[in-house]
Amino acid sequence: MPIGQRVVLIGGGHNALITAFYLAKGGFKPLLLERREIVGGGAITEEFHPGFRASTLAHTVGPLRADVARNLKLEKYDCHMLHPDPRVFSPTPDGKALLFYNDHAKTAGGIARFSAKDAAKYTEFAEALDQLSEVFAQLASITPPAIDTPSPEDLWNLFKTGRGVRSLGKKGIFNLLRWGPMAAADFVAEFFETELLRATIAARGIFGTALGPWSAGSTAVLLLRAAADSHPVGTAAFPHGGLGSLTRAIAEAARHAGAEIRTQAEVQHIRVKNGAVTSIVLADGEEIPTEAVVSGVDPKRTFFNLLDPSQLDPTFALRIRNIRATGNVAKVNLALNDLPSFPALAGTVGPDGFRQALSGRIHIGPEIDYLERAFDASKYGEFSTAPYLDVTIPTLLDPSLAPEGKHVLSAYVQFAPYKLKEGNWNSRRLQLGHTVVKTLSAYAPNLKDLIESMQVITPQDLETTYGFTGGHIFHGELALGQLFTMRPVLDWARYKTPIHGLFLCSSGTHPGNGLTGASGANAAREIIHNLR
């Protein structure tokens, strides 16, 4: 295919935008089509109540992979990252709390009030994680190798990875092999005795998944996330103006590089002839001829909604159908007329430290068993009565999101299964909202008096409004069997598909570890390589 050829991208999520950017840089003419009126997919800022804007879904970044961030030069497009410190505030109902700062020593100081042993171990843990994260970061940056006919590049990548692994030393390698398949609960227990500390860190292994801390393999998820940010509790960074300004900036960078971006352009069908893409058809009937299509929407939607299934090889179709991608996450955004007070802070930082302490993520899930019980409910089609919450109050660092003196509280809610045993998500939406408020009130008693408005986004909404099939925010469960060469499915983990000219670039592909842009960047590399 000659350079300068058109490539159509479906969906304006952050990965597709990044792919478009790199394709434009690579000399192609990307045309990106977004169904909604704004780009961003799961990384958007919307007004959910007059004067109140929230990062509707994702409320912190991955962060973006360093090289991707470098290439995009987002600051040029007026996207400024805010880096809260502490990153995480983790309270207990009985007024204790842990604060996780960038500075491990400072964090350890707080941990010491629970256990001197754990305080000492914390730095050791952070280092172990940091060391492993380099290996995982390396893995996340490569295209999964072809098993049958590894290319010289595959072999080189594996060699590099192998070297990285060997650099861990005998003990390190065995730890890697041991930890991967382990339950996060066991993993943290190897280091710490403090329940609150264990739970706060283990939560990273279950966020956005259908796993509990006692599920084997949740450590692999935790380590995969550490590849993006090796801090024990991960990142809390978000851009000024909410996540939407990140994707808006990426879009501008892509436009600037030569990509065309159309919103309110819903792709209805990908036309295929003789196993090759010929054109795409929009909902309004417009047909755009193209020989190359990159899908930024999840694999199931791509192959079952946008393609004529008869075009698919049955084995491949079966594997796609078998992808486990039913979500367990809901989102609740609150408009508050004042900052809620967390009594647990009193015993942790001085009054003048309150605002800073709350400026990062607030982890609600004080015990491993608490998290596990929250998960249990979802196994039987119920949402947790005491859910695990990942909360931010972005207005502390970015007042522009709410009217003067008012605040936005944004909470990820786990576990809320896509399929409910009783009722449906419309009939139970409010109940979920109240459950979240009730849960939070145990930590911030005055919360309910401050609420001006509440937005509840159920797994059903995630599918219908935001296009996550099955309501899975990662386009596919992050489980041992669906990572690396198995993401999205074995034999097709290299961003190509059995349909000639059709590629994937969403988080349904390797590595799919959150808002890092890794999938989009890896995909672009492969697509350029294939189209040239």
Partner 1 sequence: MGQHYDAIVIGGGHNGLVNAAYLAKAGKKVLVLERRHVLGGAAVTEEIIPGFLFSECSYVVSLLRPEIIRELDLPRHGMEILPLDGTFTPMPSGDHLWRMNDHARTQREIRRHSRLDAEAYDEFSKMMTPMCRFVKPILSMIPPDPTTLNPRDLKQLHFLMQRFRALSSDERYTLVQLMTMSAADFLDQWFETDVLKATMSASGIIGTFLGIRSPGTAYVLLHHYMGEIDGAFRSWGFSRGGTGAISNAIGAAAREAGVEIRTQAPVHKILVKNGRACGVVLKSGEEISAQVVSSSVDPHLTFEKFLEPSELPADFLESVRRYKYRGSSGKVNLALDALPDFKCMPGPGAHLRGAMSISPSIEYMERAYDDAKYGHFSRRPYIDMVIPSLTDPSVAPPGKHVLSCFVQYAPYKLAQGTWDDRREAFGDTVIDTIAEHAPNIKDIITGRQILTPLDLEREFGLTQGNIFQGELSLEQLFFLRPVPGWAYYRTPVDNLYMCGSATHPGGGIMGAPGRIASQVILKEWKKASAPSRSSKTAAIAHSHSETPPPPSQATTSAAHPPIEPAASPASVDRFAVAPKLDKN
Task: Give the dihedral sign, CA 486/489/490/496.
Answer: negative
CB of 191 to partner 1, least distance (A): 11
Among 31, 140, 236, 479, binds partner 1 (CB under 8 A): 479
Q: State the SS3 of 460-525.
A: HHHHHCCCCHHHCCCCCCCCHHHCHHHCCCCCCCCCECCCECEEECCCCCCCCCCCCCHHHHHHHH
DSSP-derived secondary structure letter, 57: S
Three-state SS for 330?
strand
Residue window 16-45: x/- pattern of binding to partner 1, with contact defined by CB under 8 A = ------------------------------
Asked if residue 115 lies in contact with residue 193, where contact means CB atoms within 8 angstroms, the answer is yes
Which is it for strands 29-33 and 6-10: parallel, antiparallel or unpaired? parallel
Among 151, 322, 427, 431, binds partner 1 (CB under 8 A): 322
In the block, residue with structure tokens 């929230």: 54
Residue 158 binding partner 1, by CB under 8 A: no
Among 177, 283, 346, 430, binds partner 1 (CB under 8 A): 177
Among 4, 94, 152, 380, binds partner 1 (CB under 8 A): 380
When the beta carbons of 297 and 479 are compared against partner 1, the nearer one is 479
Among 173, 257, 288, 317, binds partner 1 (CB under 8 A): 173
CB of 371 to partner 1, least distance (A): 12
Distance (Å, rounded) from C-alpha 301 to C-alpha 515?
A: 20
Residue 510 binding partner 1, by CB under 8 A: no
Residue 214 binding partner 1, by CB under 8 A: yes
Asked if residue 64 lies in contact with residue 516, where contact means CB atoms within 8 angstroms, the answer is yes
Asked if residue 394 lies in contact with residue 357, where contact means CB atoms within 8 angstroms, the answer is no
Distance (Å, rounded) from C-alpha 171 to C-alpha 44?
A: 43
In the block, residue with structure tokens 């179709």: 317
Measured from the Cβ of residue 432, the count of other Cβ atoms closer than 10 Å reads 21
Residue 120 binding partner 1, by CB under 8 A: no
Q: How far are the Cα atoms of 368, 390, 423 from residue 261, in angstroms, in the given order?
A: 45, 32, 40
- The closest alpha carbon to 371, from 381, 362, 358, 384, belongs to 384
DSSP-derived secondary structure letter, 53: E
Among 281, 317, 386, 490, binds partner 1 (CB under 8 A): 490
Tokens of 168: 């861990």
Residue 190 binding partner 1, by CB under 8 A: yes
Among 73, 80, 106, 178, binds partner 1 (CB under 8 A): 178
When the beta carbons of 76 and 321 are compared against partner 1, the nearer one is 321
Number of residues engaging partner 1 in binding (CB under 8 A): 37
Which is it for strands 52-55 and 45-49: parallel, antiparallel or unpaired? antiparallel
CB of 496 to partner 1, least distance (A): 15
Among 106, 379, 431, 464, binds partner 1 (CB under 8 A): 379
DSSP-derived secondary structure letter, 421: S
Q: How far are the Cα atoms of 57, 189, 207, 221 from residue 133, in angstroms, in the given order?
A: 26, 19, 18, 12
CB of 184 to partner 1, least distance (A): 12
Residue 125 binding partner 1, by CB under 8 A: no
Residue 319 binding partner 1, by CB under 8 A: yes
CB of 318 to partner 1, least distance (A): 9
Three-state SS for 215?
coil
Distance (Å, rounded) from C-alpha 500 to C-alpha 145?
A: 19
Among 130, 154, 186, 382, binds partner 1 (CB under 8 A): 186
Distance (Å, rounded) from C-alpha 298 to C-alpha 327?
A: 13
CB of 488 to partner 1, least distance (A): 12
When the beta carbons of 158 and 451 are compared against partner 1, the nearer one is 158
Cis-peptide into 86, omega within 30 deg: yes
Among 147, 155, 346, 430, binds partner 1 (CB under 8 A): 147
Segment interacting with partner 1 (CB under 8 A) among 65-73, 97-105, 126-134, 170-178? 170-178
When the beta carbons of 45 and 215 are compared against partner 1, the nearer one is 215
Segment interacting with partner 1 (CB under 8 A) among 28-36, 176-184, 332-340, 522-530? 176-184
When the beta carbons of 80 and 166 are compared against partner 1, the nearer one is 166
Segment interacting with partner 1 (CB under 8 A) among 20-28, 56-64, 117-125, 177-185? 177-185
Q: Which amino acid is at 260?
A: E
Residue 386 binding partner 1, by CB under 8 A: no
| Residue 169 backbone dihedrals phi, psi, to 5 degrees | 80, 165
Segment interacting with partner 1 (CB under 8 A) among 5-13, 281-289, 337-345, 487-495? 487-495
Residue 452 binding partner 1, by CB under 8 A: no
349-378 residues in contact with partner 1 (CB under 8 A) are 369, 372-373, 376
Q: In what order do the strands lie in the sheet with 276-282?
A: 267-273, 276-282, 287-289
Residue 400 binding partner 1, by CB under 8 A: no
List contacts with partner 1 (CB under 8 A).
147-148, 170-171, 173-175, 177-182, 186, 190, 211, 214-217, 315, 319, 322, 324, 369, 372-373, 376, 379-380, 479-481, 486, 489-491
